[in-house]
Structure 1
Amino acid sequence: MSSATQSAPAAAALASELEATGPDGGRKPTTRRDKPAGSRWYKPKTVIGKIVLWILAIGFGLLFLYPFAWLLAASLKPRQEVFDNSLWPKTFTPQNYVEVWNQLPLLNWIGNSVIIAILAAGLVAISSSIVAFGFAYFKFPGRTLLFGLVLATMMLPGAVTMVPQYLIWKNLGLIGTWLPLFGMNLFGSAFYIFLQRQFFMGLPRELFEAARLDGASYWKLFTRIAMPLSIPSFIIIFLFEFQASWNNLQAALIYLNAGGVEGFTVPLGISYAMTTFSPTNGGHGDYQYVMVAALIVTLPMLLLFAFGQRYFIEGVATQGRKG
C-alpha cells in the first residue's frame, strides 16, 4: 500500500478534528441539529396533508362561530321562531333592530357600561403599573416577601371577599351607585402587578441610571421611561380589565339592582330583559329583542379587540423574547 493511500484516512481524521476545534484550540460545543421547518407536523409537504389541515382549521373556525351565527339568525326572527335552532330565518324581521330601542333602554345600558369599564380598566392599569414599577426598580429589605404576599392574594376566591367589600360600601352609603364597580381598582390587581413587573424587569436599568444622573426624579423615571416603553403591556391590561368589567354581572347585580332600570349595565340589563319578557312573569316571550340586544352589545368588544390585537401580539412577543 502506498504512502499516499495510507495518509488518506489520517488526513480525513485530521480535517474532522480541525472542524471540531475552535479558533482558540478549545473543543467546539456540540449542538443538536434542528429539524428542517418542512418536517414539522403542522407544515405538511403533500397536497393532501395541506387540504386536511385546511379542512380542520375551517371546521374548528365554524364550530366557534356557530353561537354567533345562531344569535344573528335569532335576532332576525319573529317571536314564535326564535328558538327553532335554524340558522336561516323563515321570516325575516329586521324591524327587531328598530323596535328594541323602544322596548329596552339599551342606549343607557351601553353608555353606563362603557363609562364604568373605561374607569375600571384605566384605574387598575395605572395603579398596577405604579406598584409594579416599585417592585421592579427599588431594592429594599423584604421586597421578595412583600411581592409574594401580593401574589398570594390571587389564591383567595372572590366569594371570600364579597361580603366584606359589600359591608364596606354599604357603610359608606354607596350602594346603588357606580363607585363600587370600579373603586376597588384604585388599589391595583395582583395579576396585573405581576404582569407589568415582569415587563419592567426586562427594561435596561442603564436607562434609569442615566436619567437619575441627569437629575430625573423617580416619578419622571416612571412617566418618561417606564410607561412609554411598556405601552403594549399597559394596553393588554386595559383590554383584559375592560372585558372583565363589561361582562361583570355579579357586581352589578349586587350594587345596582336596587336602583332604576336606566342605571343598569349591559349584563344586568339583559338579565332584566330576560326576566321581563319571560311568560312566567307576565311577559309575552319577546326574546327576539334580547337576542338583538345581546348581539349589539358584542360590537364594542369586537371593535376593541380589532384595535388592540396588534398591541396584544406585540406584548406577547416581547415577553417571549425576554424568556
Structure 2
Amino acid sequence: MTPLSITRTLPADATAAALRADVVQGLSRTPKQLPPKWFYDARGSDLFEEITQLPGYYPTRAEREILLTHAGRIAAATGARTLIELGSGSSDKTRHLIGALTGLHSYVPVDVSESALAAAGEALLAEHPGLTVHALVADFEQGIELPGTPGPRLLAFLGGTIGNLLPDERAAFLRTVRALLSPGDALLLGTDLVKDEATLVAAYDDPRGVTAAFNKNVLEVINRELDGDFDPADFDHVALWNAENEWIEMRLRARRDLTVKIPGADLAVAFEAGEDLRTEVSAKFRRARVEKELAHAGLELTHWWTDTADRYALSLSTARA
C-alpha cells in the first residue's frame, strides 16, 4: 500500500452541477441567498488566507492557540490511531495534532480540491514518513464513506465551519458524523463563541476591504462558471449581527435596480435597489448550545477548551454506544 492514496468520490462534473443548482434555487427565492462554499475558488482561498491575517479576524489565531496549548491533552484523551479531517484544505492546523498523536497510523483528509489534498499529503509525508494518508475528494455535506483504518478514530471539523450551517443542517450534519463513528471514537469540533457585537462585526467587515472582496468573489465565480454578467461594483458588502439567531450574516446589497443574466443557469435575476443577497451565515455558540446539539446527535461532550480571551472553543465529544 502506498503511503499516499487519493480516492475521488465526486463525479467530474459534480461541482458545476452543484453550483448551477444552488444558483437556480438561491437566486429564485425571496430573500435571495447562496451557500458560502462558493467563495472558495483559488482567488477566494487566497483572499480568505489574507483575512486570517487581519488584526480584527481572531478565529484562526484563537483556534491555533488552543491546538498548540492542548494538542497533547487531545491526544491523551483520544489515543487516536486514525485522524479524519473534514474540509482539510492545506491541513495546516492539523499538523499540531498529528505531531501530538504519537500512535497515529492514518490521516484521512477530506476536501473537494484534489490539488490541495495532494499538496498537503505530500508535505505531511515528508514530515512524518511513517504516516499513511488516505485522501478523499468528496463533499462532506453530501455524505462520505471512510476507508478502513484502525481505531480509535478522531474526526476533526475545525475553523468554526459548522457555524455556516443553519440549525436543521447542523443537526443533520452531526447525525451524519455520529454515523461515521464507532463507540469510543471522538469528534473534535471548532466553534466561535458569542461575544460583543462590535468585535463580531469587525471580524467580517475590515477597513481594508479584504472581506468585501472575498464576499464579492462569489459573483466572479458565477460569472466565470455560468457565464453570468454580475458587476461586483453594483453591490455593497454588508456584515450584520442577528441577535435573535446569534449569527453573523454577510450580504451583498444592490446599489441600484438591475437585472443579471446567467445563461449557464438559464436564469435572469432582478434586483431592486437596496435588496440583499445573503451569502453567509456564521453562527456563534455558547457551551450549553454546543453540548445540547451534540447530545441530540448521540455525542457526549467530554472536554471544552477555549483560548485565553474566551473567544473561541474546541470541544471533544465521544460517540455513545
Q: Greater helix percent: which structure?
A: 1
For Structure 1 versus Structure 2, the TM-score category normalised by the shorter chain is: under 0.3
Taking structure 1 as the reference length, the TM-score comes to 0.26
Larger Rg: 1
Structure (1/2) with the larger strand percentage: 2
Per the normalisation by structure 2, the TM-score is: 0.26
